[in-house]
């Protein structure tokens, strides 16, 4: 099993002999407690799946580990267990429970959190955010009013059990349970059989749901071109659970059924103004990831050119507007599991992937995420900005069926930019590690859909001309993908008609050419004396060799390397 947010492997040397390092072990325990809990497999080396076959955990070692961790941490609860693996070797499984209402720390005052497969220290702003978020993390499982599960809304209860039994995402082991056991599994009831907040939220009666603290209210508002309100729908009567609420919202707004027709020759395709998959995923995010300890309505604002969904509360700790495509952190983990098991949302971490893929392959702009002081806003634009994208992606889907979602996302960005550097593409994909870009572009390059030029960080990606020719798609011609020798001839021709020109002036007459590409070529031509630079670096002008003097009689200057 690979290390992740809820699992880590540690060598037995951390807790035995002269190499024991309980301080580092305590940090991992604090990180798990401040996240959603997890466990440490102590006695399995990194890179190994099982402990050594002859490894035996001393009987008194678990007690020693718990005692030392308790001495080095605050607000950390754990439970040790000796596990005998299939090869006969033993390891210590240390369960760390999530800290429900307080922040865990080391006795030295260090606050940490689990980030992917490692533990890291919390920044000051993250610490204050985590303190505010902690009550929201345990909202689902709290019992605010003692309502026996038998007093729930039986229609909603029967529907929930039926949906669970029909879902292919639910194991047969769960389907064989009684209704009460299923509710307990999904944390809808506590050990005494009373409905938790989550239980009331999903299968409670209207009056029970209305008494929930900050039960969600959704407002849909439509604006005209002058931003005057022309329509409004409010869901505030608490009759519906989240599943029913989503269905009602999707069916009640006719604007989401509007479509564009994109055509090329005999090819026709209708593209929704706002794809239902995007609407559903954004609604899921608004319902699942909001803090239910924060007051505020969910707003769906529809303008002539865009849709804006505003959600109360800020992003969870570790998630920012600059990494939301690559990182996920669930605030309401049990609610998220129900949404996933009932096919209401995508798997963890793939929601924004779906949104990006759907928008970019339709030729639309990527979503804009903005975080305010106490809200998160997502903007999706209606307009198609690249008509070729849909046609090209349809052709690829029919001829390259194994292409991944990541490849489609990267392709959509490349098509919109015509040509883009590796560093800029990584920035668009919110990737910080150079190696991870390969999982997005390698299949495109290997299938000759995308052409790559250059090396390292200087690599540039553009649509492959031979692929466009083979597909017979009418692809808009652009100078952004111009080859170096043609760009050189273009600069030469421009200076022939416009001598004594600065680089910005040359660029203004060649607007389709990438500025950095143009700058590099001009410097190269000047260094090789194919053109002559005149003046200082800031206001340097360029001429052809036979026109090497400026209008003021300035002497030609060699370019400095």
Whole-number average pLDDT of the chain: 87
How much is the average pLDDT of 412-431? Answer: 88
DSSP letter assigned to residue 214: T
DSSP letter assigned to residue 367: P
> Residue 379: what are its φ and ψ, rounded to 5°?
-110, 130
How much is the average pLDDT of 161-186? Answer: 95
Least confident interval from 13-17, 30-34, 59-63: 13-17
How much is the average pLDDT of 457-486? Answer: 75
Q: Is the pLDDT of residue 561 over 70?
A: no
Output the CA angle 302-308-314, nearest 5 degrees. Answer: 150
3-state secondary structure of 191: coil
Q: Is the pLDDT of residue 464 over 60?
A: yes
Q: DSSP string of 237-283?
A: S--S-HHHHHHHHHHH-GGGG-EEEEEETTEEEEEESS-HHHHHHHH
Report the C-alpha gap between 48 and 12 in whole angstroms.
13
Q: Is the pLDDT of residue 209 over 70?
A: yes
CB 326 within 8 A of CB 431: yes
List beta partners, residue 25.
none
The pLDDT score that the predictor gives to residue 1 is 65
Question: How many of the other CB atoms lie within 10 Å of CB of 74?
Answer: 15
Q: Is the pLDDT of residue 324 over 80?
A: yes
> Residue 314: what are its φ and ψ, rounded to 5°?
-100, 175
Instruction: Outline where DSSP puts E strands in 125-266.
Output: 218-223, 229-235, 259-264
Write the CA distances from 172 to 169, 188, 189, 334, 335, integer angstroms: 10, 20, 21, 19, 20
3-state secondary structure of 315: coil
pLDDT digits (tens, 9 = 90+) for 78-106: 999 999 999 999 999 999 998 877 899 99
Confidence of residue 550 (pLDDT cuts 50, 70, 90): very low
Least confident interval from 394-398, 470-474, 499-503: 470-474
Least confident interval from 50-59, 255-264, 422-431, 518-527: 255-264
pLDDT digits (tens, 9 = 90+) for 271-280: 889 998 899 9
Rg (CA), the chain: 30
90-97 and 77-84 beta bridge pairing: antiparallel
| Domains of the chain listed by start with CATH number | 7-122 (3.30.950.30), 149-210 (no CATH), 218-381 (3.30.565.60), 388-468 (1.10.10.10), 481-547 (1.10.10.10)
Count of CA atoms in the C-beta half-sphere (13 A) of 138: 19
Confidence of residue 66 (pLDDT cuts 50, 70, 90): very high
Q: DSSP string of 383-439?
A: SBS-THHHHHHHHHHHH-TT--HHHHHHHHHHHHHSEEEHHHHHHHTT--SGGGGHH
pLDDT digits (tens, 9 = 90+) for 507-530: 888 887 878 878 888 888 988 888
Least confident interval from 263-267, 369-373, 530-534: 263-267
pLDDT digits (tens, 9 = 90+) for 343-358: 998 766 567 889 999 9
Report the C-alpha gap between 370 and 320 in whole angstroms.
9
Q: Is the pLDDT of residue 284 over 80?
A: yes
């Amino acid at each position: 099993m690979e290390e992740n947010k809820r699992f880590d492997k540690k060598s037995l040397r951390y807790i035995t002999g002269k190499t024991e390092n309980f301080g580092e072990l305590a940090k991992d325990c604090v990180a798990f407690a401040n996240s959603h809990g997890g466990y440490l497999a102590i006695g399995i080396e990194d890179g190994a799946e099982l402990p050594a076959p002859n490894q035996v955990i001393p009987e008194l070692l678990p007690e020693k580990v718990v005692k030392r961790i308790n001495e080095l941490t605050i607000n950390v609860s754990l439970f040790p267990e000796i596990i005998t693996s299939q090869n006969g070797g033993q390891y210590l499984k240390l369960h760390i429970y999530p800290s429900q209402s307080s922040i865990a720390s080391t006795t030295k005052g260090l606050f940490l959190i689990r980030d992917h497969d490692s533990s890291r220290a919390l920044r000051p702003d993250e610490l204050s955010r985590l303190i505010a978020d902690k009550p929201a993390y345990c909202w689902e499982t709290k019992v605010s009013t003692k309502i026996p599960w038998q007093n729930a809304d039986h229609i909603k209860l029967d529907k929930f059990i039926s949906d669970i039994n029909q879902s292919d995402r639910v194991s047969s082991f769960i389907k064989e349970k009684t209704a009460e056991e299923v509710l307990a599994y999904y944390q809808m009831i506590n050990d005494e059989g009373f409905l938790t907040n989550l239980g009331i939220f999903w299968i409670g009666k209207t009056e029970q749901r209305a008494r929930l603290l900050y039960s969600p209210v959704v407002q849909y508002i439509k604006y005209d071109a002058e931003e005057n309100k022309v329509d409004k729908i409010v869901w505030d009567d608490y009759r519906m659970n989240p599943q029913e609420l989503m269905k009602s919202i999707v069916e009640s707004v006719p604007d989401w059924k509007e479509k564009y027709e994109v055509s090329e020759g005999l090819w026709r395709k209708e593209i929704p103004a706002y794809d239902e998959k995007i609407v559903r995923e954004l609604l899921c995010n608004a319902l699942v990831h909001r803090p239910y300890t924060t007051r505020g309505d969910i707003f769906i604002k529809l303008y002539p050119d865009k849709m804006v969904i505003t959600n109360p509360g800020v992003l969870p700790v570790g998630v920012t507007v600059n990494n939301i495509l690559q990182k996920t952190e669930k605030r309401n983990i049990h609610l998220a599991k129900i949404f996933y098991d009932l096919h209401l949302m995508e798997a963890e971490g793939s929601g924004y992937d779906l949104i990006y893929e759907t928008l970019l392959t339709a030729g639309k702009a990527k979503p804009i995420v903005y975080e305010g002081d106490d809200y998160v806003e997502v903007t999706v634009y209606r307009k198609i900005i690249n008509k070729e994208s849909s046609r090209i992606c349809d052709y690829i889907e029919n001829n390259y069926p194994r292409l991944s979602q990541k490849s489609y996302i990267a392709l959509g960005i490349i098509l919109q930019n015509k040509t883009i550097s590796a560093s800029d593409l990584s920035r668009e994909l919110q990737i910080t590690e150079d190696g991870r870009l390969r999982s997005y572009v390698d299949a495109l390059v290997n299938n000759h859909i995308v052409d790559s030029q250059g090396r390292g960080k200087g690599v540039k990606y553009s649509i492959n001309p031979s692929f466009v020719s083979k597909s017979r798609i009418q692809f808009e011609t652009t100078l952004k993908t111009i080859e170096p020798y043609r760009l050189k001839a273009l600069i030469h021709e421009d200076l022939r008609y416009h001598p004594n020109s600065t680089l910005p002036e040359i660029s203004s007459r060649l607007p389709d050419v990438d500025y950095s590409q143009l700058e590099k070529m001009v410097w190269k031509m000047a260094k090789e004396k194919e053109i002559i630079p005149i003046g200082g670096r800031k206001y340097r002008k360029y001429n052809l060799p036979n026109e090497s003097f400026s209008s003021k009689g300035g002497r030609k200057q060699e370019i400095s390397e």
